[in-house]
């Protein structure tokens, strides 16, 4: 009985840890910074649109781009009518693999 409880507890505590390892992490802009008049220093929508244009310039058919955990989260059209969610580093525009 103790073995079953121990295995169950181990399973419960290991699942969140493995899920956290699968999260892409990037060093994106600090959207919590404000100008002296109290307005946000960076606009998430404007920077996402600018990044989407930069991805297009690199031949990546990105759409619906937004910021997520410091990374660019975008949907890429694979040409066969399917879209895949991908993450990109905002500084190098390289794809960030999800573990």
Decide if pLDDT at 69 tops 50: yes
Q: Rounded mean pLDDT of 75-97?
A: 91
pLDDT score, position 60:
93
Distance CA 35, CA 40 (A): 6
The answer to whether residue 70 scores a pLDDT higher than 50 is yes
| Distance between CA atoms of residues 24 and 80, nearest Å | 26
Q: DSSP secondary structure string, 48-77?
A: HHHHHHHHHHTT--EEEEEEETTEEEEEEE
Q: Looking at residue 15, what is its pLDDT?
A: 53
pTM of the model: 0.68
Quick: pLDDT tens for 2-55.
666 655 655 656 555 444 455 677 877 777 788 888 887 778 898 899 999 999
């Amino acid at each position: 009985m103790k073995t079953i409880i121990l295995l169950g507890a181990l399973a419960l505590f290991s699942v969140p840890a493995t899920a956290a390892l699968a999260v892409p992490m990037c060093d994106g802009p600090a959207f919590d910074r404000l100008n002296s008049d109290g307005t946000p220093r960076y606009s998430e929508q404007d920077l996402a649109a600018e990044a989407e244009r930069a991805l297009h310039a690199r031949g990546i058919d990105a759409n619906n781009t937004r910021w997520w955990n410091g990374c660019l989260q975008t949907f890429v059209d694979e040409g066969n009518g399917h879209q895949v969610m991908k993450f990109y580093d905002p500084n190098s525009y390289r794809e960030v693999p999800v573990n």
